[in-house]
Chain A
Amino acid sequence: MRHPAAPQLRWRKLGKIFDPARFELPNNCEQFAQSPQALVFDSLVRIYFSSRERDSSNGKYLSHVCFADFTKDFRHVIRVTDRSVIDLGKLGCFDEHGIFPMNILRHGGRIYGYTCGWSRRTSVSVETSVGLAVSDDDGLTFRRIGEGPILTSSLREPFLVGDAFVRVHGDQFHMWYIFGTAWKRPAAGGAPERTYKIGHAVSRDGFAWEKEEARQIIADRLDLEESQALPTVARIGDRYHMIFCYRQSTDFRENKGRGYRLGHAWSRDLTNWTRDDVGVGIDVSAEGWDSDMLCYPNLFECDGRTYLLYNGNEFGRHGFGIAVLE
């Protein structure tokens, strides 16, 4: 039964607004515009996303950060970046094989990019950590503060720290992120699959962070093997709302019923969260680009309205769309 005070969000879908196949992207990227994240300017909205290059050495993907500038009605693309927003990490570094996603924070006259860096492993496909880069040119390019991560695995968060979303509330930086809890080989065989949950860390300066070490802040709805990803948080009315995506940990790529959906939780204090997926107010469409899957949400405000960016089918292979809060 729903909490009697559970708030209900209502979204009006404005449709898919970006198709990566229609633009020339830097770094030989083709297809995929994943995890759109907004940076609002006076006259435009810059939307960062991760696209993919084929690694010629082995056919695997490398994720690169790109952006597209939109008119404020999101009907027109003004420009698409023609150069690398941030280079991939050096040999052996945590972000050598991809940056996906990058969360954007404007604070104190600076623009911060909180990256999720990917590097490949042998027994499992990948390990991730959170890095920090700063832009001094209004977000056209970002320079990392160091070659290593600012948030990574620790005693009780053994792997797969990533998907940071950072906002300042009061005088404190808050980071919502994910940490891995399991790598498992599926009973049916095949490569190991991962399970991850949403956690929380705080900071005074955005650089040095203190984790709540392995506290899963959002309850599972499916079961222990539910994977939760890409939290995004905004204050709407008198509550904080978190939207994230969640899925089963196995057979989630092709099986529509086990793939990503958007989940929701609300809080009054940024500490205690009540999960209430009904309240998210958005679901897959009956047909079209977001009919199988909804994932990688990003909440932002623009000119007094609240928007939700998200990906649809195939984890954003064919682009991203937007919805506006009614």
Chain B
Amino acid sequence: MFNWNKLGRVFNPREIGDRSWLHEFAQAPCTLVFDDFVRVYFSCRPPPDENGQYCSYSAFVDLKRNNLFEIQKLAVQPILPLGGIGEFDEFGIYPVSVIRDGRDVLAYYGGWTRCESVPFNVAIGAARSLDGGETFRKLGRGPVLSYSPNEPFILSGPKIRRFGDRWYLFYIAGRKWKLVDGRPEPVYRIRMAWSRDGIAWTKIGRDLIESRLEEDEAQASPDVFWRDGRYHMFFCYRRSANFRGRENGYRIGYAVSEDLLHWTRDDSKAGIDVADEGWDSEMISYPHVFELDGRTYMFYLGNQVGREGFGLARLEGEL
């Protein structure tokens, strides 16, 4: 089992207060390392509208490289505007994953639309930054990765990676809207696509990670990195019903692969779990692992999928 040492909560959006679009939630952290700071992208929400519905925006906070608990700067506005009427990202840009492409920064994100029979649908958009990741411009008004015969809805949670001369997108695809007490709840699984240019994608078209809890297990946040000759994935997973509390809520899982295509799941190795009390006592989710100055860290979300922000853990010993 890996030994993650929880260092505590890094960012609590409820303590900010002076940005109308940043009221609560700081979801799906994703890092970009600079010389003297680490930029952490996250997704947040203004208060809900009169019907109780939320929009999501994505932004960043810069943390001092030599002390990740010290905020150096906080974005003054979201990195992207919501889409126009009828567009796939009209009601939310969440989550976002970034990567350097030469001097540019590329972002892939989930764009949210609202539906009548189910609450929402999501497709994956792309944007490019020419100023080091402060502002982005969308590559188009539509999605870069969308629905297909065996990925019918909810393409979300993109994580962009580059291995060798190929781009890879790890993401989730919906497989079922399950009625739980009359309310549709989405079931989704981890998938992958690859590309030579980051624009035209080839889906491999099957689940990467087998289910463990139940047939309708939902999986998210496939965070993949290469280390010591193997690919490692931390992700999160939950049950399909009553998952908004401690019992059935998100936990962090782990899988390993030699070739990116075939993965061996072994959650017992993940080495991080909910706390007995406090901000991450009900659920932990959306892991993001990164290296900094010779150490390995994980950002992750706590209760209510990041409503109260994200925290940091440090790997002790070897992976």
A residues in contact (CB < 8 Å) with B: 89-94, 96-97, 119-124, 127, 129, 131-132, 144-150, 152-160, 180, 183-185, 192, 194
Contacts and interface: CB of A to CB of B under 8 A. Distances in A.
Contact of B115 (A90, A121, A155, A194): A121
Interface of B is mostly: loop
Given A94-B153, A129-B147, A154-B143, 14 more contacts: A92-B174, A94-B152, A120-B115, A120-B116, A121-B86, A121-B116, A123-B85, A124-B85, A124-B86, A147-B150, A154-B142, A156-B140, A183-B85, A192-B85
Contact of A148 (B116, B140, B149, B184): B149
B86 A119 contact: no
Given A93-B153, A155-B126, A149 B85 contact: no
Given A121-B113, A123-B86, A183-B85, A91 B140 contact: no
Interface stretch (B71-79, B117-125, B212-220): B117-125
A152 B184 CA distance: 23
Contact of A158 (B87, B115, B126, B148): B87
Given A92-B153, A121-B86, A192-B86, A152 B147 contact: yes
Contact of B86 (A90, A147, A150, A180): A180
A185 B84 CA distance: 12
Given A124-B86, A147-B149, A92 B115 contact: yes
A160 B150 CA distance: 20
A214 to B, nearest CB: 9
Contacts of A147: 149-150, 152
Contacts of A90: 177
Contacts of B199: 155
A96 B117 contact: yes
A129 B143 CA distance: 13
B117 A92 contact: yes
A24 B83 CA distance: 44
Contact of A91 (B113, B123, B177): B177
Interface of A is mostly: loop
Task: Output the residue of B123, B149, B151, B186 with the most chain A CB within 10 A.
Answer: B149
Q: How large is the interface on B (under 10, 10 to 19, 20 to 34, 35 or more residues)?
A: 35 or more
A43 B143 CA distance: 46
B88 interface: yes
Given A149-B149, A150-B148, A122 B86 contact: no
Contact of A153 (B90, B123, B153, B184): B123
A93 B118 CA distance: 9
A145 B151 CA distance: 12
20 contacts: A91-B117, A92-B186, A120-B116, A132-B149, A145-B149, A146-B152, A147-B149, A148-B149, A148-B151, A149-B148, A154-B140, A154-B144, A155-B140, A155-B144, A156-B140, A158-B87, A159-B142, A183-B84, A183-B85, A185-B85
Interface of B: 83-88, 90-91, 113-118, 121, 123, 126, 139-144, 146-153, 174, 177, 179, 184, 186, 199
Contact of A92 (B141, B149, B184): B184
A158 B144 contact: no
Contacts of A154: 140, 142-144, 146
A92 B140 contact: no
Nearest to A122: B114
Contacts of B88: 153, 158-159
B143 A155 contact: yes
A121 B140 CA distance: 21
Contacts of B144: 154-155
A129 B117 CA distance: 17
B147 A94 contact: yes
B153 A146 contact: no
Contacts of A96: 117
B150 A148 contact: yes
A87 to B, nearest CB: 14
A183 B85 CA distance: 6
Contact of A159 (B86, B91, B179): B86
Contacts of B139: 155
A173 to B, nearest CB: 16
A91 B83 CA distance: 25
B138 to A, nearest CB: 9
A252 B83 CA distance: 27
A156 B142 CA distance: 6
Task: Output the residue of A89, A150, A155 with the most chain B CB within 10 A.
Answer: A155
Contacts of A122: 114-116
A153 B150 contact: no
A193 B179 CA distance: 32
Contacts of B147: 94, 129, 148-149, 152
Given A129-B147, A148-B147, A158-B140, A92 B121 contact: yes
